[in-house]
Structure 1
């Protein structure tokens, strides 16, 4: 009675052996499955992995050495992608640097929703690394970087200064003109100067005033010498214009009037502003090439493409830019004026590259931010261009800024891409455009 028949253990023993044999058979199958179809990492982890710079994509899948040598390699295309949620947020806030224009300091002005700061641009073809202030400062060491253009140039400049200030606070060493239109900072740690030059047309222009005609005057065959006179002391330009060309204006070449844009009451031909915008870009790049190329001086030129606005109705109506999240991929097409302005800039940069090939020291690039900016209707100050606009209750009419960008905000991405262009240039020899 105390013994157990070996016949009663047999099914249990057989079952154990069967399980073991099954596991041994499945193990190599599982390993092969993982080898050919690896499990993808969660996005939050892939964003934290280190990335090699620059990121290169090959257009050929051939494995033969001969074909691999002939395969064309292209730098990552940052223009196509989507905005993904990001928990880490920006490098700075509204109080950590003193260079943010009041109208773009949305945090200090009481904007209640802060989710607009927690998005990152994710290109389709590669990863866009987070901005590394130390890398930027090292690449720019002993050089002079100048932002030239309108208030969008200033917006991008202030974004850059705030990110760099997180590791090396700059000293303001020069300022002139109303509304801080001409300023220069110095980073003593790396012997770097960063300047802003107000020049909303890049070419010579007379801006409309309260005391004079209600239109601008543009001289399309001459650059604005307020920035061009310092050209020989600048190593890198970031040019950014566009929105001022929508204003009423009369256009000149030499002493001759070419026409105008929205000038009722004047005996001039209405010619719009697209061709004029192209002429201004062309004259600017041609002048830089001629002045710096002829002297065999190295210089880098970035043209930041047109930044779309997001007004929904009247500029002074409550809720003029009410969105609180980015557009999804494909939700908002790039079209109309935004597409036309961007196209002009990209085409003129490519033409200037061809003209600059004879000069080994010139490098040009379009910082193509139009589409990724179009997808961020949530990133503007809106009514928070002024402090606490609803402190006394919500009103039907209120000033809105749906053109510029909150700092921190989407415009920080422009400088992340700028850094990637600089990294790529660092790894190349100067061969012209």
Structure 2
């Protein structure tokens, strides 16, 4: 009987083991296939590219991804300032002044999906800004302009790029200027430097500057106000004309995207006067060539022990309403609420440009130069409601035919102030101040 029981027991045990192994194998196959499916989905969904970035992008904040999240309505915390209280907002971004009467677009807080795994240092930093690890409330009215100015005391911050970077620069000025007494601050164009503008906070010896260089190197779009061009010409060998004005900065904040949205770029070699030596390239090839030139300059001319460098990623341009279910040629005009569909991606955003930038920053990292990518692309995708559209100053009189078609002249590229650029600056400051702890 004992022998029969042992055989029976062994047989039953074998069946159980077989079933367990089978279940484990099935589970493993499921997860492998599911992982493959998820990877395929990520490869086919442009917005997920932020998950493919190397870890160096988030090193300064302990690996936390601040850029995946959602917009939460928060009228108690936002806006961070009032339009009428910031005298530096130009007509292009003064949406309330030029007729916009709905202001809910100012009342949204960006809430990352992730929660901080705080080191003791970042915990102290966040506490100084009045935040906790369970709620990323540093993106709120707890923003402390005096604290930021004190931490930046004696420093020069310079935004370098196009009109969207100018949009962000003016946002930063508005966020900080309200706590500076009258007479201890000044906005001015720098004499003898065509493209340089500066805001001075004398009490703190802080300079917040903007330098117009939409293509980073010398181009036919270098005039800060007279730059409307239907074609692009750049001098690939000439970055020093602009860059000599950046070398003494403590914080560099670059962007360059919108001016590359033409099919081809004319690349000059030598002086602009020598029009014989040139080639025509695609916009993507031109972008890569310029980023290589910019990278070489940054690696050889900047003391990276002193200077922090950042690159703002591309922002959405909500020109095609069909992307979110509108009809015909409709766009951002009359939009009053964000898109709530997670990972929405509008068709005008060029993913290949993002990958070229990402690759360039990875190569710089390999050379020992860390330029943090501030990835604001996804969070801007949702904000079709936050553009000036027709509520802005136009510097030439609109004709009757234009007035009959508001969608045709609505600005869906730039952003109202207060508004979305304030969040970009909160994210940027999270990096800057973490490194200046």
In the TM superposition, what whole-angstrom CA distance separates every residue of 1:273-305 from its partner, at most 9, and x where no partner exists? 112112222321320220124xx7621111001
Q: Which residue, out of 45, 54, 68, partners 1:80?
A: 68
Equivalences for 1:121-270 in 2 at 5 Å?
Answer: 121-126=110-115, 127=136, 129=138, 130=140, 131-168=143-180, 170-175=185-190, 181-207=195-221, 215-226=231-242, 228-247=243-262, 249-254=265-270, 259-260=279-280
SS of the equivalent of 2:96 reads: coil
Show CA shifts across 1:226-282 (max 9, x none).
3x112332111111111111246312345785643xxxxxxxxxx321121122223
Q: How many angstroms does 1:121 deviate by?
A: 0.5
Choose from 327, 339, 344 the match for 1:332: 344
Superposition deviation, residue 192 in structure 1: 0.7
The alignment partner of 2:236 has SS state of strand
Provide Cα deviations, 1:144-187, integer angstroms capped at 9, x if missing partner.
11111110111000000000012126312444599x94211211
Answer yes or no: is 1:280 the counterpart of 2:277: no
Larger radius of gyration: 1
The alpha-carbon deviation at position 82 of structure 1 amounts to 0.5
**Structure-2 separation of matches of 1:244 and 1:319:** 20
Note if contact 1:208-1:214 (Cα within 8 Å) is conserved in structure 2.
no
| TM-fit CA distance, 1:225 | 1.6
For 1:106 and 1:197, how far apart are their aligned partners in 2? 24
Residues 116 and 378, structure 1, Cα contact 8 Å, conserved in 2:
yes
Q: Contact 2:71–2:108 (CA<8 Å) still a contact in 1?
A: yes
Aligned match of 1:404 in 388, 398, 414? 414
Distance 1:214 1:305 in 2: 23
Determine the C-alpha separation between the residues in 2 that align with 1:212 and 1:77.
Answer: 37
Counterpart among 106, 111, 118 of residue 107 in structure 2? 118
Contact 1:385 1:400 in 2 (8 A): no
Asked whether the equivalents of residues 337 and 384 of structure 2 are also in contact (C-alpha less than 8 Å), the reply is yes
- Cα deviation for residue 189 of structure 1 reads 1.8
Count of aligned pairs = 332
Greater strand fraction, Structure 1 or Structure 2: 1
Report if aligned partners of 2:213, 2:222 keep a CA contact under 8 Å in 1: no
CA 1:181–1:252: 2 relative to 1, 3 Å? closer
| Shift in CA distance, 100/211, structure 1 to aligned 2, threshold 3 Å | closer
Cα separation, 2, equivalents of 1:213 and 1:237: 27
Look up the match of 2:42.
none
Aligned mates of 1:220, 1:321 — CA distance in 2? 38
Q: Distance in 2 between matches of 1:159 and 1:212?
A: 24
Equivalent-residue separation in structure 1 for 2:154 and 2:179 (angstroms): 17
Q: State whether residues 312 and 321 of structure 1, in contact with CA within 8 Å, keep that contact through their aligned partners in structure 2.
A: no
* CA 176–345 in structure 1, closer or farther in 2 if over 3 Å, else same: farther
Report if aligned partners of 2:198, 2:207 keep a CA contact under 8 Å in 1: yes
Q: Please tell me whether residue 378 in structure 1 is matched to residue 390 in structure 2.
A: no
List runs of 5+ in structure 2 lacking aligned partners: 1-60, 116-135, 323-328
Q: What's the CA shift for 1:336?
A: 6.7
Q: 1: CA distance between counterparts of 2:227 and 2:62?
A: 53
Contact conserved, 2:332 with 2:384, CA < 8 A, in 1? no
Secondary structure of the 2:85 match is coil
- Alignment CA distance shift 1:385-1:177 (3 Å): farther
| SS of equivalent residue, structure 2 residue 89 | coil
CA distance in 2, matches of 1:211, 1:414: 26
Assess if the C-alpha contact under 8 Å between 2:71 and 2:110 holds in 1: yes
Query: 2:187 and 2:321 mapped to 1: Cα distance?
Result: 39
* 1:358-377 paired onto structure 2 within 5 Å: 363-377=370-384
TM-score, length-normalised on structure 2?
Answer: 0.68
> So what's the TM-score if we normalise by structure 1?
0.69
Contact 2:269 2:277 in 1 (8 A): yes
Alpha-carbon distance between aligned partners in 1 of 2:237 and 2:424, rounded to the nearest angstrom: 30
CA distance 1:297–1:230, shift in 2 (3 Å): farther
Cα distance change, pair 97–211 in 1 and its aligned pair in 2 (3 A): closer
Counterpart for residue 302 of structure 1? 310
RMSD: 3.3
Task: State the SS of the aligned residue for 1:82.
Answer: strand
Is the Cα contact below 8 Å between 1:311 and 1:321 reproduced in 2?
no
Gaps of 5+ in 1: 1-72, 261-270, 358-362, 428-433
The answer on whether the counterparts of 1:320 and 1:402 sit within 8 Å (CA) in structure 2 is yes
How is 1:40-59 mapped onto 2 (pairs within 5 angstroms)?
A: none
1:104 aligned counterpart, secondary structure? coil
TM superposition shift of 1:213: 8.5
Question: Do the aligned partners of 2:265 and 2:282 also contact (CA within 8 Å) in 1?
Answer: no
Inter-partner Cα distance in structure 1 for 2:404 and 2:83:
28
Paired residue for 2:353?
341
